[in-house]
Amino acid sequence: MTERPISDRLCEEIQSEFPDFAVRPKAGDALSRAIDGALRVVTLGAQDRYLTEYFTVLGATLYTPPGWDSMGDRERAVLLRHERVHLRQRRRLGRLGMAAVYLIPFLPLGLAYGRARLEWEAYEETLRATAELLGPGAARDPALRERIVGRFLGPDYGWMWPFRRQVERWFDAALGRIEAEGTAGRAEDLPKCRR
């Protein structure tokens, strides 16, 4: 019997939790194009990869850049785990609450603490999913640490929380918690959809 891809099963799990969940390409999507234009304006052109590199949940839809099609199964699953956190945040905060925390603090750029905390919660899940699906070594890779920390410091999310030391402390504390939880056998628990 062939195993179904982990990301397909996870996608179904997300759909059973959020029935209107859908995955759509950013390319050719008018709303995504409008957001891309606005981001280029507010970041003075520094964030010009919204359409080509970033995954974005708007409502219950995950909008994907072109790289989605060539991503490996486990990498896709890690990404879906991050985005599921945002879907749960939206349920917790409500659509307007989420928009208020996420979008309004975009101005002033650089001090968006509410958004930084929501993103941090999602990146902690990225880290946990990486440890479980790609192995503890992948979660400990300094390149991953730098990439995630950089997301907070740089223009990607409008200089969301530009305090390197603090973001590094969040990262190291989260990695410590995840390693303490242990990941042995977790991958075995994954095929929940098969029950």
| β-strands 61-64, 22-25 pairing | parallel
When asked if residue 112 is in the footprint of Zn ion (CB under 5 A), the reply is no
The 10 Å Cβ neighbour count of residue 69 is 9
- Distance between CA atoms of residues 69 and 112, nearest Å: 32
- Smallest gap from residue 184 Cβ to Zn ion (A): 27
Query: Which residues, 6+ apart, have CB-to-CB distance to 151 below 8 Å?
Result: 119, 123, 157, 160
Q: Is 122 in the site for Zn ion (CB under 5 A)?
A: yes
Q: What angle do CA 110, 151, 51 make, to 5 degrees?
A: 100
Closer to Zn ion by Cβ: residue 77 or 122:
122
Q: Using CB positions, name the residue nearest to Zn ion.
A: 122
Q: Which is nearer to Zn ion, 9 or 157 (CB)?
A: 157
Count of residues of this chain found to bind Zn ion when the rule CB under 5 A is applied: 1
Q: By CB under 5 A, which span of 4-12, 65-73, 106-114, 115-123 interacts with Zn ion?
A: 115-123
| Nearest to Zn ion of 1, 97 (CB atom) | 97
Give the footprint of Zn ion on this chain (CB under 5 A). 122
